[in-house]
Amino acid sequence: MKTEPDNTPCDGLTKKVTSTLDQSLNHTRNSQSRLAEMRTQALAEIPKAPPQHKTVWLAAGSLATIVIAALLFTPALLTQKDTSELAELEWLIDNNELDILEADLEFYQWAEGEMEGAG
């Protein structure tokens, strides 16, 4: 193996490179320490999660609103339906259509008698 003498230009370069690498390692350690401190500080500044009771009240309020709306609008729909049926009945009575109703009644009475006779 060949050995180089201690006073060669490579020896000076080696010392410079070694010194620079050692300094960069020190900077890396310092940087890691600073990054860890900054991370801890950033995490401390994050606002805490809101309490769960607010979410529960929001859900309960929404549900109550839906139930109240359903109760308020359901009678209106039923009233409209009843009104239309009454209008049809009034139309039949006003137009002297009672003959048709009486004919239907006679038919149902006849059909009932036929079924009693057969049974």
Model confidence pLDDT, tens digit, residues 68-119: 888 887 766 655 556 677 777 777 666 666 666 677 788 888 888 888 887 6
Q: Most confidently modeled of 3-7, 9-13, 93-97?
A: 9-13
Residue spans of the domains in the chain: they are: 9-46, 50-119
Q: Which amino acid is located at 18 in the chain?
A: T
The residue whose two tokens read 């239309």 is: 84
Rounded to two decimals, the pTM is 0.26
Higher confidence at residue 20 or residue 100? Answer: 20
- pLDDT-derived band at 1 (thresholds 50, 70, 90) equals very low
Q: Which amino acid is located at 76 in the chain?
A: A
Alpha helix (H) ranges present in the chain?
9-45, 52-94, 98-118
